[in-house]
A and B are shown apart, each in its own frame.
Chain A
Amino acid sequence: GENVEQHPSTLSVQEGDSAVIKCTYSDSASNYFPWYKQELGKRPQLIIDIRSNVGEKKDQRIAVTLNKTAKHFSLHITETQPEDSAVYFCAASHSSASKIIFGSGTRLSIRP
């Protein structure tokens, strides 16, 4: 079955610097890759997603890149702010209405 690996498990960056979180997936048929942000005690919230027909997608300070050949995708957060501190999860699925498999999460801390 599909497996999603996520690195690093923890990440600490200076406020204003960039943060990068990387994920790899095992099922080459995967074609949908969402990223979720989860603050302490709250529900996972979708922050950005990408489908396999594009290589990059941006939304203000957040961008996601996808390399289908290498089966990896990354989340990039620029100009980090204190409110970016949270746990971030990548996920993958391979067809409409199929199960979404999550990575193990990255705890991002922004140092003032």
Chain B
Amino acid sequence: EAGVAQSPRYKIIEKRQSVAFWCNPISGHATLYWYQQILGQGPKLLIQFQNNGVVDDSQLPKDRFSAERLKGVDSTLKIQPAKLEDSAVYLCASSVVLDNLAFFGQGTRLTVV
């Protein structure tokens, strides 16, 4: 079974630039999560989708972050404009609906300089 795919693996941008991350969940997984993991901390949930609908985005900084999952499969997370404090690993995870067993992708390491 293929795992959660994310790209790119690494990204370096200057502050105030924009960046986008892509995630392809495990086939058949209706629930998709985006987490932000700052160095030395636990993953923090940014947004959760159920199919193409948003279940929870209470922790998403909506003035600069946006995410979509238009067809209920792939998802993109965008930051515009980026700040230094956005430097982190962005993890995508997915799970089967009615089950919280979440599988993580390799993550995208973002460095904002």
Contact = CB atoms under 8 A, between A and B. Distances in A.
Given A32-B100, A34-B100, A96-B99, A43 B91 contact: yes
By size class, the interface of chain B is 20 to 34
Contacts of A96: 97-100
Nearest to B50: A97
A100 interface: yes
Contacts of B40: 105
Contacts of A6: 42
- Residue with the greatest number of chain A CB neighbours at <10 A, chosen from B43, B104, B105: B43
Given A34-B102, A43-B107, A104 B41 contact: yes
A95 to B, nearest CB: 8
A45 interface: yes
A103 B104 CA distance: 16
Contact of B42 (A32, A46, A93, A104): A104
Contacts of A98: 55-56, 100
12 contacts: A6-B42, A34-B102, A43-B105, A89-B43, A97-B30, A98-B100, A99-B45, A100-B45, A100-B102, A101-B45, A104-B41, A105-B42
